[in-house]
Amino acid sequence: MMKTKLASAATAAAAVLAMLTALPAAAHDIVYTGTLSGLAESPANNSPGIGFTTITFNDHDFSMRVEVTFSGLSGDTTASHIHCCTANPGAATAGVATQLPSFGGFLLGVKSGSYDHTFDMTQLSSWNGAFVTANGGTTGAAFSTLLQGFADGKAYLNIHTTAVGSGEIRAFPQLAPVPEPETWALMVAGLGGVAWSVRRRKVLA
């Protein structure tokens, strides 16, 4: 019993510590989320497939984390990547900005799956070289262009398949809501309270 209380106090304390240390990192994260569908493709198609993506840019270490889950595709996956930047938000098409032909390690030949990879965007290999050349010639300039493309709603992530070669499902990810500082403070205070009461019960026992 004592061990359990100690363990839960340690867990709560660790959670508080993790949240506190996560705060400075979170300040550099720019998070976009989107739902991929055939309807959102150009041209639109009637794919029964669906997908969800979270793309997290970090403007401190110039990384880009790409998370994608997808299912129900009518064809087998042949490629997935990010295109940028369309002429208008949420419409038409643009060239590929990221690694060609597909994100490294993305599951190909499947109708459903998930993907989670963090790219070092200072590396040329994370990019379509033509996108870098056309946007300042350096990975830093290309990163700025891509971030602006996302901010403007002119970047999309899509999945190409054997059924729809031009792209079966896609999304123009939107900026995800960021927790307010007050929300963070309440969460930290709440966890701290849990840790304190567990510790107090231990002392009384």
Looking at the Cβ atoms of 158 and 161, the one nearer to Cu ion is 158
Residue type, 127: W
Q: How far is the CB of 129 from Cu ion (least distance, A)?
A: 16
The count of residues in the chain is: 205
Q: Which residues contact 136 (CB under 8 A, 6 or more apart)?
A: 142, 144, 145
Nearer to Cu ion, 77 or 158 (CB): 158
Q: Give min distance, CB of 70 to Cu ion, in A.
A: 14
Residues that bind Cu ion (CB under 5 A): 158
**5 burial level (CB within 10 Å; 0-12, 13-18, 19+):** middle
155 vs 198, beta carbon nearer Cu ion = 155
In the complex, the smallest distance separating the C-beta of residue 159 from Cu ion, rounded to whole angstroms, is: 8
Cβ nearer to Cu ion, comparing 9 with 81: 81
Is the CB of residue 49 less than 8 Å from the CB of residue 71?
yes
The minimum distance between CB 82 and Cu ion, in angstroms, equals 8
Spatial distance between the Cα atoms of 117 and 137, rounded to a whole number of angstroms: 24
Distances (CA, A) of 144 to 26, 57, 158, 198: 19, 11, 21, 47
Taking the least distance from each CB to Cu ion, the nearer of 53 and 158 is 158
- Nearer to Cu ion by Cβ, of 135 and 158: the residue is 158
Rounded CA separation 150/127 (Å)? 16
Q: How far apart are CA 102 and CA 160, in angstroms?
A: 9
- Smallest distance, Cu ion to C-beta of residue 105, A: 17
The angle formed by the CA atoms of residues 72, 73 and 76, to the nearest 5 degrees, is 130
